[in-house]
């Protein structure tokens, strides 16, 4: 198979979908790998590294999209890229379609085989989302600590505090992969950590991992009460493939103290805060009701070297399956079938269909 790796064009997105070692594995398996010039530069991988791995360096993205049977990307295709996709082409990337109606419509119109990293699932575990959830979760508390600084508009509270003062109170909404990683870093920074999680079995796991954190059963009343005294709130809610629920209301935000910070990690799925709207690394924050909102849709792009290596480690086994067998791999591999979002002009992800009130088609009827 011919595999294309274009350079990411989303704002400050310096990750790349494939490391040189990943390209080498695909080449050794008999496939052709086309990498756009400077695609890996932001992650510290020069074109020479890809050439040594056996890949071909291509100047223009148009040539990559034209020649490749499968496109490997990091983020959802941007408008110029959508125009270059074609019928039957496999697109393997983070799609987050429940928050991207225009992208959904374009993939359906062009009859692209869209496989979303974030919905590939093995026994309830999301192996391709996990590494970026780890990065986003861990960096969320670093971001919160930065914007709590007074020169950046925050209330001037140090995460750890010092002897004789209280540490910052960090409220984490959601105890999944993002929430657990956020809590680990917040706890390491010396913050006062509270996690809200609705699943009792998960609460028991979190309590074993973070015995000194306060872990509460999540509901509207508890969230309403806890958020009033929080210095930083980490939105870490996920419904795989679907739009994130708006758990944090406008009224809750209005009840927070001026200079507090919200980091909505769920923003790439629409956000879990009613006052959240997508931002970029160029303009990462805005203030509403005196509360600083950080809602960058590609948070791990701030740490591209770490993120690219972690992402390729997770995606490469699936990329090899797709490169070997094409859509036949989707038919026989359950995780890949769960990752299939669009196929032959039909929507094959229930969460996305529900988000937009569109028709869902079981992929088994199409494959």
Q: Which residues are catalytic?
A: 96, 268
The Cα 197–Cα 66 span in angstroms is 46
Count Cβ atoms below 10 Å from residue 277 Cβ, excluding itself.
13
For 15, the token pair is 């990750």
E runs forming strands in the chain: 2-5, 32-36, 56-58, 70-72, 90-93, 113-116, 169-173, 192-197, 214-217, 232-235, 261-264, 285-288, 291-294, 340-343, 346-347
The Cα 289–Cα 275 span in angstroms is 9
Does residue 236 contact residue 137 with C-beta atoms inside 8 Å? yes
Nearest to 349 by CA among 336, 367, 361, 334: 361
Does residue 115 contact residue 340 with C-beta atoms inside 8 Å? yes
Does residue 8 contact residue 74 with C-beta atoms inside 8 Å? yes
CA 344 to chain centre: 25
Number of H helices, E strands in the chain: 14, 15
The Cα 278–Cα 101 span in angstroms is 14
Torsion angle, alpha carbons of 94, 178, 222, 257, to 10: -90
CB proximity list for 162: less than 8 A, separation 6 or greater = none
Strand partners, 296: 279
Edge to edge, the sheet with strand 232-235 lists 214-217, 192-197, 169-173, 232-235, 261-264, 291-294, 285-288
């Amino acid at each position: 198979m011919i595999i294309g790796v274009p350079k990411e064009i989303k704002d400050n997105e310096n990750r790349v979908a494939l490391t040189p070692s990943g390209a080498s594995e695909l080449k050794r398996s008999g496939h052709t790998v086309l990498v756009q010039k400077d695609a890996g530069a932001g992650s510290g991988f020069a074109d020479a590294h890809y050439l040594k791995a056996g890949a071909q360096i291509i100047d223009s993205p148009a040539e990559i999209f034209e020649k490749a049977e499968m496109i490997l990307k990091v983020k959802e295709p941007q408008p110029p890229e959508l125009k270059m996709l074609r019928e039957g082409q496999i697109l393997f990337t983070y799609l987050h379609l429940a928050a991207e109606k225009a992208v959904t419509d374009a993939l359906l119109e062009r009859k692209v085989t869209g496989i979303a990293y974030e919905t590939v699932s093995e026994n309830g575990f999301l192996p391709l989302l996990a590494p970026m959830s780890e990065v986003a979760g861990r960096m969320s508390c670093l971001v919160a600590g930065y914007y709590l600084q007074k020169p950046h508009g925050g209330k001037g509270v140090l995460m750890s505090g010092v002897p004789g003062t209280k540490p910052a109170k960090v409220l984490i909404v959601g105890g999944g992969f993002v929430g657990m990683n956020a809590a680990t870093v917040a706890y390491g920074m010396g913050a006062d950590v509270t996690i809200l999680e609705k699943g009792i079995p998960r609460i028991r796991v979190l309590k074993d991992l973070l015995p000194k954190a306060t872990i509460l059963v999540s509901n509207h009343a508890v969230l309403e009460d806890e958020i009033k005294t929080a210095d930083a709130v980490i939105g870490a809610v996920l419904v795989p493939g679907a739009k994130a629920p708006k758990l944090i209301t406008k009224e809750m935000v209005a009840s927070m103290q001026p200079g507090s910070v919200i980091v909505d990690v769920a923003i790439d799925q629409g956000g879990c805060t009613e006052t959240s709207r997508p931002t970029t690394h160029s303009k990462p924050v805005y203030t509403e009701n005196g509360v600083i909102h950080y809602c960058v849709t590609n948070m791990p792009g701030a740490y591209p070297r770490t993120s690219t290596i972690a992402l390729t480690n997770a995606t490469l086994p699936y990329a090899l399956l797709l490169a070997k067998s094409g859509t036949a791999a989707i038919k026989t591999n359950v995780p890949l079938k769960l990752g299939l979002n669009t196929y032959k002009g039909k929507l094959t992800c229930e969460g996305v269909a529900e988000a937009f009130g569109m028709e869902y088609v079981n992929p088994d009827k199409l494959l």
